[in-house]
Amino acid sequence: MLGLMAVAVFVGQLGISRIESKLLASAYWGAVLLMVGWVGLLAAADVLATKHHFTRLRQTYLVEQAKLHAEIRRMQATRGNGKAPKRNRGPAGKS
């Protein structure tokens, strides 16, 4: 579509200026302007859809992260009351 608009602008610069009919020139440039507007509308819709998609994706990851943190806390609580395990030192208390 962008290529079509580029060709339309190029043809408009070369060909429409030679035509005497103001109505035809106005209709042509109006059509080109509609194409530009349509591409802009599609771009805006794409931005909104992308934002929506990544917001949902982020929420999914945040929920998963919260579940994993809860599981880590639960495992730490059952394996040593949340404290780091003691190191096994040698017979005289030396490493």
Distance (Å, rounded) from C-alpha 16 to C-alpha 47? 34
pLDDT tens digits for 55-92? 999 999 999 999 999 999 998 888 865 565 566 665 66
Return the structure tokens found at 41: 């509308």
Return the pLDDT at 40.
Answer: 95
pLDDT tens digits for 6-22? 888 888 777 776 777 88
Q: Check residues 90 and 51 and name the one with the higher pLDDT.
A: 51
pLDDT, mean over the chain: 84
Return the pLDDT at 23.
Answer: 87
